[in-house]
Structure 1
Amino acid sequence: MPQKTLLLVSVGSPPASLLRDLQDPLAAQMGVAAVVSKTVLPTPAYAFNKDRGQYHCNAIMRRLTPMQEPGQFAVLGISDVDLFVPDSPFVFGEADRESKTAVMSLHRLAQGAASEMLRRRAQVEVVHQAGHLLGLSYCEDPRCVMFFAQTPQDCDRKQLSLCNLCRNELQKLNR
């Protein structure tokens, strides 16, 4: 049974059913019990950058951090808005190990995706962000869930699991 609990928070209007579909892969791949928060954050207008037409990850994560409750090791926001960090044209998500907070977006993952494909892409990326929260870094293996995806097709190539090197690293981190 998973010993760590991750709080999943809806930011904006991602499908509620999709958030529930993220729970099993987090338990199976990362050993994390995910619970969906009853609190839903509205579309993060405070994080919108009008010059870029995107939403700043760090501003959203600052709102998520205080939502973490005792007994939860981290909080992860699931959003439907286009995310960015200053040095990238966009990101699928961002994680901060220190604050134990992450955010992931469905916006670009949904491009050209039927509902089943979007569900799988979301699962891959939420497991990826949870991996960062647990202490894992990026992996060079394009099939590993910890590979840095730059396109939705990169997500499609990734497996929903860790490669052997990352699995061993996670076991070390959990000791």
Structure 2
Amino acid sequence: MYIYLVTFGNIEKRLLFGIAKNVKETFGFEVRLSSVASPLKHAYDHERKQYVGEKILDYLSTLNYPELLKILALISWDMYAEGFNFVFGLAKIQGREAVVSTFRLFSRDERLFFERVFKEVNHELGHTFGLGHCPDRRCVMSFSNSIDDTDHKSKNFCTSCKTKLKTAIAELTF
């Protein structure tokens, strides 16, 4: 089983390889990279000048790849979800689809930028494995309402969330 990473927009290859390594280390699954030709025009909200996260997740649900476990889209555009001005990412809880936008995570400091993206990738994939938001502000599953929240938390799971994640992964591999 694989976690597929698909890209939309201008995503640097070094970032993709870094994400793949991070996902393998964090979740223990191999990552396959794929690009999708669709520019996601149907998911763009012209009034807000942002992409609609739920529409991207719906599109991802139509994609099928061999031995697909989870699918994570990485987009370089701004994104929002219903009820929010913007979101860094979105996922279907206990589903297989997740999306992360690099738009508001960007920093000229490449190390900081990559770290932010890794945190949001781990957070959204955590949701796909059934994890909710964590009250521990250092845990990667802590809700990020601002870039400061993202910078404050770790890219790792707290002890409680790590236990829940291991249980979820063990159930999938039996």
TM-score (norm. length: structure 1) = 0.89
Q: CA deviation at 1:70?
A: 3.0
- Which residue identity lines up with residue 41 of structure 2 in the other structure? A
Query: Which AA in structure 1 matches 2:91?
Result: A
How many residues are aligned here?
Answer: 170
1:94 is aligned to 2:77 = no
**What RMSD, in angstroms, separates the aligned Cα atoms of the two structures?**
1.6
Residue type of the alignment partner of 2:100: M
Note if 1:146 corresponds to 2:141: yes
Matches within 5 A, 1:34-73: 34-37=31-34, 39-73=35-69
1:4-24 CA-partner distances (Å, limit 9, x unpaired): 421000012221221111012
Residues 1:164 and 2:146 aligned together: no
Instruction: Judge conservation of contact 1:68–1:74 (CA < 8 Å) in 2.
Output: no
Distance in 2 (CA, whole Å) between partners of 1:13 and 1:28 is 25
* Residue 17 (1) aligns with residue 18 (2): no
Q: Is residue 114 of structure 1 aligned with residue 114 of structure 2?
A: no
Q: Would the aligned equivalents of 2:79 and 2:101 in 1 still touch at CA under 8 Å?
A: yes
Q: How far 1:137 sits from its partner (Å)?
A: 1.1
The Cα of 1:60 is off from its aligned counterpart by: 1.4
Unpaired segments of 5 or more residues in structure 1?
none
- Residues 70 and 97 (structure 1), Cα distance of their counterparts in 2 relative to 1, 3 Å cut: farther
What is the identity, as a one-letter code, of the residue corresponding to 2:124?
A: Q
Question: Which TM-score applies when normalising by structure 2?
Answer: 0.90
The percent of aligned pairs where both chains have the same amino acid is: 28
Amino acid at match of 2:154: Q
**Counterparts of 2:80 and 2:37, CA distance in 1:** 18
| Contact 1:54/1:82, CA 8 A, preserved across alignment | yes
Which blocks of at least 5 consecutive residues in structure 2 are unaligned? Answer: none
